[in-house]
Amino acid sequence: MPPAWQRHPRYFILVALVISATIYVLNPYQSPLRADSYAAYIRDNELPAKLQRADRVYSEVITSRKDMIRKFGPTPRDIVMFPPDKEPWPAYTVWSFFPPSYHCPHELERIGSLGDGGKWACGMSRLEHKPDCLIYTFGMNYETSFEAALLERTRHCEVWGYDYRSNSFGSSIKSNYRAHFFPWGLANIDAHGPNDEHKLYTLKTLLEMNRHDHIDVLKIDIEGWEFEVLTQILQPYIASGEPLPFGQLLVELHTWEKKFEDFLPWWEMLEAAGLRPFMTEINLVYQNYNRGKDTDLAEYSFINVRGDNIFITDPPSPLDVGI
């Protein structure tokens, strides 16, 4: 009698193919995916690949912004921040030109209380065990649920808080050796002499006083002064090409009496410094108590895409540093 493979050749070929495919799939030593394969394209989940995709998306948004200005302008001088309620009713507000379209490469979550006080942040899990974690926060006015949450969920983070309207952190922060408060204000100039009613400091001066050279999260809510202050902070870094000394910027923008032709170059300055918006929240609490007026206030969260801050660069492993 002839062997089984001669009597049923098609069946034998099928069984051989199944066995070969199983060995190939389970083989731990098989060659890596080709760079041009479809599987390779959908498995690029490492941090550099995520940032590269986010950069590409954001560059398209910048192009769309220019197109939108030409459509409704055609120049920035012609753009109204909040168009009046009359024909032709253009379908935009100032916030439409600046969507938070940069992808947070980590978890996106709201830290602190719901409603007024909490902030949207990216990748706070990367701070939970960071040894030299620093948070700077300005303009709390006793609302410190954001700061309290970060102190609670991290092992080493220190919070440095400044507000000349207050004399302490809010009630949400109890005595904590990692929390440092000063009744001073953030400004674009140093004005803290004996004759100054409010003690004002630049960020550069505070960093020098505290002997810090980096900040993981910088939070600013200073009632409209953010435009002058951030201009003073960013311009030296843009001129030198050095990366900003902070990883994230969480700021409330107050556009009272602002014109689009002035707001646009200020925003483009943020972009030139490496800041990319990944989240926004219009302040509807403010809007609720100022009905009939423009939606002037918006919270924005930015990630700094330059340098080697913890949100865009993985820390070295013990093997990398020879430990």
The answer to whether residue 321 sits within a structural domain is: no
The mean-pLDDT minimum among 27-36, 129-138, 179-188, 272-281 falls in 27-36
35 and 178 together in one domain? no
The whole-number pLDDT of residue 292 equals 81
Provide the token pair at 92.
Answer: 């935009």
Q: Would you place residue 3 in the very low, low, confident or very high pLDDT band (cuts 50, 70, 90)?
A: low
Helix (H/G/I), strand (E/B), else coil: 108: strand
Q: Would you place residue 28 in the very low, low, confident or very high pLDDT band (cuts 50, 70, 90)?
A: very low
Q: State how far the Cα of 311 lies from the Cα of 249, in Å rounded to an integer.
A: 12
The answer to whether residue 322 sits within a structural domain is: no
110 and 256 together in one domain? yes
10 and 136 together in one domain? no
Q: State how far the Cα of 181 lies from the Cα of 249, in Å rounded to an integer.
A: 19
15 and 91 together in one domain? no
Average pLDDT over residues 292-299: 91
The residue with greater pLDDT, 126 or 12, is 126
Contacts of 267 (CB under 8 A, 6+ apart): 98
25 and 118 together in one domain? no
Q: What are φ and ψ of residue 243, in 5° steps?
A: -70, 150
> Mind listing the pLDDT tens digit for each residue in 43-95?
556 899 999 999 999 999 999 999 999 999 999 999 999 999 888 888 899 99
The whole-number pLDDT of residue 307 equals 94
278 and 246 together in one domain? yes
Could you tell me if 216 and 130 are in contact, meaning their C-beta atoms sit under 8 angstroms apart?
A: yes
Could you tell me if 243 and 307 are in contact, meaning their C-beta atoms sit under 8 angstroms apart?
A: yes
* Helix, strand, coil percent content, the chain, rounded in steps of 5: 35, 20, 45
CATH number of domain containing 290: 3.40.50
Q: Which amino acid is at 117?
A: G
The answer to whether residue 320 sits within a structural domain is: no
> Mind listing the pLDDT tens digit for each residue in 170-206?
887 878 899 999 999 999 999 999 888 899 999 999 9
Number of domains within the chain: 2
210 and 231 together in one domain? yes
Return the number of other C-beta atoms located less than 10 Å from residue 243's C-beta.
18
130 and 103 together in one domain? yes
The answer to whether residue 61 sits within a structural domain is: yes
Q: Would you place residue 30 in the very low, low, confident or very high pLDDT band (cuts 50, 70, 90)?
A: very low
The answer to whether residue 91 sits within a structural domain is: yes
Host domain of residue 25: 4-42
35 and 179 together in one domain? no
Average pLDDT over residues 259-282: 97
Could you tell me if 223 and 261 are in contact, meaning their C-beta atoms sit under 8 angstroms apart?
A: no
Provide the token pair at 131.
Answer: 């040894």
pLDDT surpassing 70 at residue 104: yes
211 and 91 together in one domain? yes
The answer to whether residue 319 sits within a structural domain is: no
The answer to whether residue 316 sits within a structural domain is: no
Contacts of 225 (CB under 8 A, 6+ apart): 186, 187, 188
177 and 111 together in one domain? yes
Which residue intervals of 132-259 are DSSP H helices?
A: 145-153, 203-210, 226-240
Q: In terms of Cα–Cα distance, which of 156, 192, 191, 160 is closest to 173? A: 160
Average pLDDT, the chain: 87
Which residue intervals of the chain are DSSP H helices?
A: 4-7, 9-26, 38-42, 47-72, 145-153, 203-210, 226-240, 260-272, 284-288
The answer to whether residue 199 sits within a structural domain is: yes
292 and 221 together in one domain? yes
Q: What is the pTM of this model?
A: 0.84
